[in-house]
């Protein structure tokens, strides 16, 4: 049986939990209704059902950044940090769309 493809996957993501950076090359994965924030080595930073996640654009950063609340903890994700060819703002938009599509909320 084939594994289901993730609804969203991004690598090279800067993951910050105010006020410090947790990783500069992390991974964000939405699969089977669950969001995972991972280090570059695949260790789980945080994880929750997408319906319990709040995500939105940040008003104080560039278009590649999103604000995220997972299990009551606030994070800032900056997409496309490690890949010069990645369009961080497009990835951020796809991420927000994937969160909404999987039942998460905006905010």
Encode pLDDT of 32-64 as tens digits: 999 999 999 999 999 999 999 999 998 777 889
Q: Helix (H, G, I), strand (E, B), or coil: what is residue 35? A: strand
Q: pTM score, two decimals?
A: 0.87
Q: 64-70 — which CB contacts under 8 Å span 24+ positions?
A: 64/88, 64/89, 64/91, 64/92, 65/92, 66/92, 66/95, 66/96, 69/107, 70/35, 70/37, 70/46
Dump pLDDT digits (tens) for 3-17. Answer: 556 789 999 999 999
Instruction: Report residue 53 as tokens.
Output: 């996640």
């Amino acid at each position: 049986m084939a594994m289901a493809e993730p609804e969203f996957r991004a690598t090279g993501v800067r993951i910050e939990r105010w006020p410090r950076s947790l990783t500069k090359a992390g991974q964000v994965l939405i699969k089977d209704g669950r969001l995972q924030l991972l280090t570059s080595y695949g260790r789980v930073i945080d994880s929750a059902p997408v319906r319990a996640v709040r995500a939105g654009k940040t008003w104080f950063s560039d278009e590649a950044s999103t604000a995220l609340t997972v299990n009551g903890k606030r994070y800032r994700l900056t997409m496309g940090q490690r890949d010069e060819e990645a369009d961080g703002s497009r990835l951020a938009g796809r991420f927000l769309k994937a969160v909404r599509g999987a039942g998460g909320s905006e905010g």
